[in-house]
Chains A and B, each alone.
Chain A
Amino acid sequence: MADVELRALTKEFPGGVRALDTLDLTVADGEFFALLGPSGCGKTTLLRTIAGLEAPTSGQVRIGDRDVTGLVPGARDVAMVFQDYALFPHMTVLDNIAYPLKIKRQSRPERSGRARGVGANLGLAALMDRRPAALSGGQQQRVALARAVACHPSVFLFDEPLSNLDARLRLEARTFLKRLQRELAVTTIFVTHDQAEALALADRIAVMEAGRIRQVGTPREVFGRPANTFVANFIGSTPMNLLPGVVSGGGVAVAGGTLTPSTITPPTAPGERVIVGVRPEYVSLSTTPVDGALTGEVSIIEHLGAVSLVTVEADGALIGATVPEDREPVPGSRVWLSPAPGRVLIYRESDGELVT
């Protein structure tokens, strides 16, 4: 059991690519922590640097009260689950789970007993003598987890652990993974490019872009108040509306209308160019005129199950709003959109940072 602390961590690959840029981060003991970002953002490099599979160019990695920056992976007391599970094809499930214990010179009965115990907890009891090739993807994933669990590390590192499973199985494995982490209470850092997965699993999320952390926060914070337009764009299964606007008088001129102070806190100086962000889930749609609402024509309706995403064209801008499945407007009709009070975010246009 240990926390993980990164101090001014930098990783530069030969050729000058900066995968990690003076990164500071503390993951608390027992926390389930997600590194989220698009491909190439450095999240996997960060995970591999914590594991010791990559050496940082500068900076420090601390696990518990130890500085492990110079230690080989095997001395760091971490266990990693790879995206492809990395099971040894020529070993049985039992031998795979027991492998790290074998390297640690545990006797055969001791390590077999422990591997069987962990395997049984993860529902693998009937499969212990099979080889990985004779297992389904979900079973292979659990064997990889069991191998990590069996060596009782102080930190788990998961590299996209669910991305090789099909969509249905992924949801089950997600729930399973979260329960397992709760029970073991071992500090866990996992990498994902799937924002829904990060929101569902993590206690806290770090959203990364180009080797930097753009925001760290709980799923609620990251979803509800993205710190900048990058995070706003990345988080959420329906993309957030990000509309260019200009501060004027008591409100913001946007998409042919004006959002008045009743729905937003007026920011900064009049005349400043801003970007107004509001999630489609927080936009209410009306087929009758509403005071102070933006108005436009319905162009597209997408069915998302219990709700539908309606895209409205308002003065050249496209604005999304979700409506219950039985309240869909007619395509081409005129509708009025009003954002929920307190849910409108204002970003500076110059650097994309949140103003209020």
Chain B
Amino acid sequence: MGWARLPAAEPALDAVATGATAAPAATMPAGRAGPATDVVGLGRWRALGFVTPGLVLIGVFLVFPALWTLYIGVTDYRLTGTAARAPQIVGLENYRRALTDPTFYRSMWLTLVFVLGSAVLGQNLLGFFFAYALRPARPAVRRLVEALVLLAWILPSSVVAFLWIAMLDRDGGTVNVLLGQVPGVAWLIEYPMVAIVVFNIWRGTAFSMMLYSAALSGVPPSQLETARLAGASTGQTLRDVILPNIRRYALTNTLLITLWTFNDFTPFLLTAGGPNHRSEVVAAYIYNTAIVGGEMGYSGAISLLVLLVNLLLALVYLRVARVRPA
């Protein structure tokens, strides 16, 4: 069905096709799928030619690494040494090890704290607050705040990580100078989790803010005005009109920022997982295991476990989003 047989279009398309090359469409064997002529007149082979570069890129950078991770997860493959040259298949040994490894559980726990603190609560609430508070503001004020918040989001990770390291430095850091104590607190060493949570809130709030701005502008004004005419307070209006109207947006936003934060590597640039694994979220743990520790096989197994957790989270959210309120 569909584009394959458009009688009116065919002659012209063939003319275009034959004009350039040796009539790929015309010389195609007319199989069950019919002549490989489409509305654009490319023919099957040239169409494939256009798609191939994209497919190759996806294959090389997405499919192959994923399969490779699956493979090395069941080997003892290392970065260096004999196991690097001739890795042995060890079956599920890496998975057994991960599931009995307290460091892995600690990294999962830290990730949970990181995700809940910085994304589910931090970015979500702060983003909603910005969006809500900026609604009645003058356009100039709104645009300025939005631009500043967005700036934190669009700057490259390495740049902002360096800025934060400079800001939180013990000896000459901006925060300590502002607090009037030099040398002061070594923030990244004494409060590493707090530091990366605050950092990630600052970094990622822009997305939630923009999403909630759009969601709030979709709340019908007449519903808000009906609440006003009934005499509803701000809190009642939020509870009865605004939140029910933006519920689906909130769930989508929470799902997205949860997954992003779960897999976010930027905390590593601030604390490298330290000191003494105290801020080693899974992304940092995998990196430390694979690149610093050289245990590629083990890190491959952990990566797969993390992927499964990601899938589970997504399923839970999609399930919640489908349920209608009672």
Contact = CB atoms under 8 A, between A and B. Distances in A.
A53 B220 contact: no
A82 B225 contact: yes
B226 A82 contact: yes
Nearest to B226: A86
Given A82-B222, A84-B222, A103-B236, A90 B325 contact: yes
B232 interface: yes
Contact of A75 (B227, B231, B232, B236): B231
Nearest to A53: B225
Given A88-B244, A90-B244, A103-B236, A80 B231 contact: no
Contacts of B229: 51-53, 73-74, 78-80, 100
Interface residues of B, number: 18
B142 to A, nearest CB: 16
A151 interface: yes
User: Binding site of A, secondary structure by majority: helix, strand, loop or mixed?
Assistant: loop
Contacts of A87: 223
A81 to B, nearest CB: 9
B231 A88 contact: no
Chain A's interface size range is 20 to 34
A72 interface: yes
A4 to B, nearest CB: 15
Contact of B230 (A52, A82, A83, A100): A100
Interface string B303-326: 000000000000000000000010
Contacts of A72: 228, 231
Interface in B213-271: 220, 222-223, 225-232, 236, 240-241, 244-245, 247
A153 to B, nearest CB: 9
A58 to B, nearest CB: 22
A161 B187 CA distance: 62
B240 A99 contact: yes
B231 A103 contact: yes
A108 interface: no
Interface string A94-138: 000001100110000000000000000000000000000000000
Contacts of A74: 228-232
A53 B225 CA distance: 7
A86 B240 contact: no
A86 B231 contact: no
Interface in A21-79: 51-53, 72-75, 78-79
Contacts of A85: 222
Nearest to B224: A86
A53 B228 contact: yes
Given A86-B220, A88-B240, A99-B240, A104 B225 contact: no
A82 B226 CA distance: 8
Contacts of A80: 225-226, 229
Contacts of B232: 74, 103
Contacts of B220: 84, 86
A23 B194 CA distance: 61
Nearest to A78: B229
Contacts of A89: 244-245
Most buried by A among B222, B245, B325: B222
Contacts of B247: 90
Interface of B: 220, 222-223, 225-232, 236, 240-241, 244-245, 247, 325
